[in-house]
Structure 1
């Protein structure tokens, strides 16, 4: 009986067996118990080779994001790669799209590359630990550390760094209301974890200020500037005096709408975007926007990743506050 037999019987990699032998914190307690039980049942005694395998490293980190053509994703991946190279690590990138099947397939493919850890970029991978939709991530974390940027997943060997999106939208909407805005449009392009947290903050601010939460003031559209403009122009009965957009592209669409309607910004229409991207300074007037501090999220992720690979203890969750960048589309 050798390490390969134990790995096969336990349904894990030989590296995982070696980490169990070395009592590495990079392996969940559940997996440790399963491997140890197989070892005891087969009277397996680890040798020097088995112990040494746990120290083996390809100095490679896997990165998965939905779509690298997205500006936020592209910036995050570029920054992650730069920081990893500072530590002497390479990276492998897979784009998974948004569909569940494709996300699971991307993770299976990247795991075959013998990576030391996995970074998931974006809240599309988020979910509660008990959700079936994130089971494939929790299973991957039994073999390697998993790091999630801008989302939360509960589970052993999973580490999350995320923006406090609900707090940031709560603050922005509160400022709009206190400046006299009565009908604030929530403009989004998805129902992702991050978008839902932004919606939570929006609704909570309305309720706390004694204002109703209205379904006709929650609009989901494609993340395209002219599409947003045209949709808003086509909805003649939709009246609003402010817009909170979950992305700067959506907010620029609202600016285009205001120009087409002959509305003054911010006098007639107050607009807040999200992400503090290049789009926020490419329109006229320039956007007030919420900076979700993407680089800081990436920095914390890489620093914590390196600590985990050294078997140091790091928090499993790190919330990071967003920053409101005041420009010319608001009057608060």
Structure 2
């Protein structure tokens, strides 16, 4: 059985009795080619099953019109929301997106960086893994003048364009809100401090306590990957003995929702006995009962800024030399039922 050969523009030209250059211009929507000829060429291309070779075109003009994106997990609300915006905005600029997830594995992130470099992407956007502290696997992009933009989970001491949320203010605002609602014993559930997000949110939590003259207690702070399973284990520790805390600031919404479910199951009233604030304003926080207060990170704004930065840098002769490497996306607390009113007075 013979293998079907790939059709080329030469085949289209022979079928139509046109020159190869005319077919090429028609497929690329050249203004000097009539609409009638363009339609005739496209119709024959479809009939023959012609597929344009984007890789070959990229080699000719040194542009692939493709951007690489590495995110921790597509299943998480915040990176998923950003991915949607980035893809839609890139399409407006005529670019395609290759979406890769690292599954929070540093080894996988390193492999994906190499793969995307080999795919000749014109630029790269990255939200790093929880454990990425050495970013040298992205050096090859910088050395070859391929723009790299880090967002959300970003390097602390690696020279690069960074777009991040105001995580210190987010941590401060969430904690201050609980204090203003009457809380004086606030648990903080954090991700690992290898990640910039949780370093800054913890600093904001501590600063709010300090400003309100509430002592910081190490035993009220928990560090782990913010999964449902880890949140349940932490809930068991938090409520193992009285006095219970009167506030919980969780640095992601999956954790906040899990704490709420645990409290309901164990007859701990929210918000009367304990108030809860999460982080990211995941849509689930609005539909659970009671609805959960959360810090909105505005993923649409961050996604738009990522694309804008990439497009600016692609047009720059030396894209990885930055005068203004860091952009901060504002946050906003969305107060809901889980933190409403004054806490129950302890007898």
Corresponding residue to 2:218 among 201, 215, 227? 215
Relative distance call for 1:123 and 1:100 in structure 2 (3 A) is closer
Who is 2:309 aligned against?
304
Structure with greater Cα Rg: 2
Who is 1:75 aligned against?
81
Secondary structure at 2:143 match in 1: coil
Q: Is residue 2:281 matched to residue 1:272? A: no
Q: State the Cα distance separating 1:106 from its structure 2 match.
A: 1.3
Over the aligned positions, Cα root-mean-square deviation in angstroms equals 2.5
Corresponding residue to 1:205 among 204, 208, 223? 208
Relative distance call for 1:151 and 1:229 in structure 2 (3 A) is closer
Q: Which runs of 5+ in 2 are unaligned?
A: 1-58, 342-347
Q: Is residue 2:106 matched to residue 1:100? A: yes
Structural mapping, 1:1-332, within 5 Å: 56-122=62-128, 124=130, 133-143=134-144, 144-153=146-155, 154=157, 158-191=160-193, 192-221=195-224, 223-225=226-228, 228-229=231-232, 231-233=234-236, 235-237=239-241, 239-311=244-316, 315-331=324-340
Secondary structure at 1:329 match in 2: helix
Distance 1:241 1:310 in 2: 53
Distance 2:325 2:60 in 1: 22
Distance 2:210 2:120 in 1: 50
Q: State the Cα distance separating 1:269 from its structure 2 match.
A: 1.0
Q: State the Cα distance separating 1:55 from its structure 2 match.
A: 6.3
8 A Cα contact 1:307 1:314, kept in partner: no
TM-score normalised by length of structure 1: 0.75
The number of aligned residues is 274
Q: State the Cα distance separating 1:227 from its structure 2 match.
A: 5.7
Q: Which runs of 5+ in 1 are unaligned?
A: 1-52, 128-132
8 A Cα contact 2:191 2:225, kept in partner: yes
Distance 1:145 1:54 in 2: 20
| Shift >6 Å, 4+ stretches | none
Which stretch of the first structure deviates more once superposed, 291-300 or 256-265?
A: 256-265
Distance 1:126 1:149 in 2: 13
TM-score normalised by length of structure 2: 0.72
